[in-house]
């Protein structure tokens, strides 16, 4: 149970029982990341049932999306963009990523992410029969982080929170994958596309981070969630418009 609470305290602002986590608890918490995504998706499905205009529902979902996560993932995306594209070498890039101020790359990336999510949500909510997409997208995006933690390693000497969860075991990855598949099962054949896209983005960010700073950090995990969510919203909009799911 301690690993479950750690997953929620790591990825959300929800109150959780306080206890001193062990390294094993932190590693095992990764398997519950898709479950955290399921909580996000369940809330989005409830909001979708409200009698509000489509654009207002989209804005409310986006507000909850950002507030419930404490904007942690957006902050990670901004730090990655500033560091990856603003530093001269791996050490300088990590220094920039740890800095409290937000640079031009980070500001632009966060702004564009929020704009994309707003527009895509408005489009998606205007289609028919889309509640399962609202559930599956946050789940698959957090599964992408499960994959990242399994295939990646932290930079040498990094002592951030990410260094304690990155490098998870195969059983943890498989358990997290089983949770994610269960949550996305209702989409049937479209679930395959969701996981393929999530896997591609996970691999790309992990590989790029390895090249730029010598490994993956907690900021990289946050960036993975944000960029995967945007890509999956695109995928959902394309499929609901074309096939009417």
* DSSP notation for 121-177: HHHHHTSSS-HHHHHHHHHHHHHHHHHHHHH--PPTT--STHHHHSS--HHHHHHHH
Per-residue buried b or exposed e for 115-127, using 16+ beta carbons within 10 Å of the residue's own CB: ebbeebbbbbbeb
Confidence bin at 242 (pLDDT 50/70/90): low
**The pLDDT value given to residue 20:** 79
Note the pLDDT tens digit of each residue in 176-208: 999 999 988 878 788 899 999 999 999 999 999
User: Please, are residues 211 and 112 in contact by the beta-carbon 8 Å criterion?
Assistant: no
Assign 105 a pLDDT band (cuts: 50, 70, 90).
Answer: very high
Tell whether the model's pLDDT for residue 128 goes beyond 80.
Answer: no
Mean pLDDT of 109-124: 96
For residue 184, the SS3 value is helix
- pLDDT at residue 244 tops 60: no
CB contact set of 167 (below 8 Å; sequence gap of 6+): 27, 149, 152, 153, 154
Q: What's the whole-number mean pLDDT along residues 9-19? A: 85
Nearest to 96 by CA among 238, 239, 212: 212
| pTM for the whole structure | 0.93
């Amino acid at each position: 149970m301690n690993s479950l609470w750690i997953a929620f305290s790591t990825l959300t602002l929800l109150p959780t029982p306080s206890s001193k986590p062990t390294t094993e608890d932190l590693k095992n918490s990764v398997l519950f990341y898709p479950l955290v995504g399921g909580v996000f998706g369940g809330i989005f499905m409830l909001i979708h049932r409200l009698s509000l205009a489509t654009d207002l529902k989209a804005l409310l979902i986006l507000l909850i999306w950002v507030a419930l996560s404490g904007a942690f993932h957006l902050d990670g995306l901004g730090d990655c963009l500033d560091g990856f594209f603003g530093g001269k070498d791996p050490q300088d890039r990590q220094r920039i990523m740890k800095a409290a101020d937000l640079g031009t790359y980070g500001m632009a990336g966060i702004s564009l992410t929020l704009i994309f999510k707003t527009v895509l949500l408005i489009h998606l909510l205007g289609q028919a029969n889309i509640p399962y997409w609202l559930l599956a997208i946050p789940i698959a995006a957090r599964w992408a982080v499960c994959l990242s933690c399994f295939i990646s390693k932290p930079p040498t000497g990094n002592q951030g929170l990410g260094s304690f969860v990155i490098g998870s075991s195969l059983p943890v990855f498989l358990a997290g994958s089983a949770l994610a598949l269960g949550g996305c099962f209702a989409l049937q054949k479209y679930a395959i596309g969701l996981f393929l896209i999530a896997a591609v983005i996970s691999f790309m960010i992990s590989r790029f981070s390895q090249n730029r700073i010598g490994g993956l950090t907690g900021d990289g995990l946050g960036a993975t969630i944000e960029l995967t969510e945007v890509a999956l919203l695109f995928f959902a909009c394309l499929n609901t418009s074309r096939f009417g799911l």
